[in-house]
């Protein structure tokens, strides 16, 4: 991670999916609740820390005596509960407008999610989002909070990690972005490195910072008020 705020504009934006670009909170909780109830596990306690983590990490936490094969099978069972459940899936507030701006501006962006490819494409499709680069958990040796996914996304975009901004709605995701050497933006009350708190604020910031100028990029480090 860079020391201090960026002094030049970002070259790419890397988004988390669930809770950041896609409203799927209820879908995630329905699946984990069913999974927990089948095993006599307190679903409310499990859900306190499940969001943003790869399924196998949560499974291993709640099945501490399970071997690798059992953990993989139980994680696959949890994901299977979500594949066909797209009820209520919608884009997050401001997501489509921001992504349209990025696409029209030919500004590089990608999605990195702890979901596998099948689930990610189902949810993104239901929300009307088609990312140019999608990095899913099944492409990686290590999921969040490891930096692997965001580093791969930057590589696929052809952008140096230090020039990327990560947008996340969980502490686990923020940790992943920082570990990749990237500046972070937190949404839904999560605190990142840059003083932005929503997709709409990010949209405004990028409009300002990418506007043609005769000198340095404007908007760094945030001279205009962020509300």
Q: Which residues are catalytic?
A: 16, 18
Centre a 10 Å sphere on the Cβ of residue 90 and count the other Cβ atoms it contains: 14
Chain mean position to CA 157: 16
d(CA 5, CA 179): 16
Q: What share of the chain is helix, strand, coil (3-state, %, to 5)?
A: 45, 10, 45
What value, to the nearest 5°, has the Cα angle with vertex 117 and ends 112 and 122?
100
Strand (E) positions, the chain? 12-15, 22-23, 90-91, 109-112, 134-135, 164-168, 183-186
**With 0-12 CB in 10 A as exposed, 13-18 as middle and 19+ as buried, what is 222?**
middle
Omega before 145 within 30 of 0, i.e. cis: yes
Nearest CA-CA partner of 209 in 224, 220, 197, 225: 220
**Largest distance between two CA atoms of the chain:** 64
Residues comprising the chain, all counted: 227
């Amino acid at each position: 991670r860079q020391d201090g705020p960026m002094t030049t504009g970002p070259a790419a934006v890397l988004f988390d999916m669930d809770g950041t670009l896609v409203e799927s909170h209820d879908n995630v909780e329905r699946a984990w609740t069913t999974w927990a109830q089948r095993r006599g596990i307190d679903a409310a306690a499990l859900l306190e820390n499940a969001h943003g983590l790869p399924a196998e990490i949560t499974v291993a936490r709640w099945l501490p005596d399970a071997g690798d094969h059992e953990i993989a099978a139980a994680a696959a069972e949890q994901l299977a509960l979500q594949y066909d459940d797209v009820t209520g899936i919608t884009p997050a507030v401001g997501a489509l407008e921001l992504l349209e701006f990025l696409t029209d501006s030919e500004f590089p962006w990608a999605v990195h999610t702890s979901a596998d490819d099948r689930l990610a494409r189902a949810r993104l499709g239901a929300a009307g989002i088609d990312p140019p680069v999608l990095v899913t958990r099944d492409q990686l040796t290590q999921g969040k909070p490891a930096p692997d996914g965001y580093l791969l996304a930057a590589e696929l975009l052809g952008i140096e990690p230090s020039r990327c901004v990560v947008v996340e709605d969980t502490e686990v995701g923020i940790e992943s972005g920082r570990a990749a050497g990237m500046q972070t933006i937190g949404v839904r009350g999560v605190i990142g490195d840059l003083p932005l708190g929503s997709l709409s604020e990010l949209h405004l910031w990028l409009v300002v910072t990418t506007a043609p100028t005769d000198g340095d990029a404007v908007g760094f480090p945030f001279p205009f008020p962020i509300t």
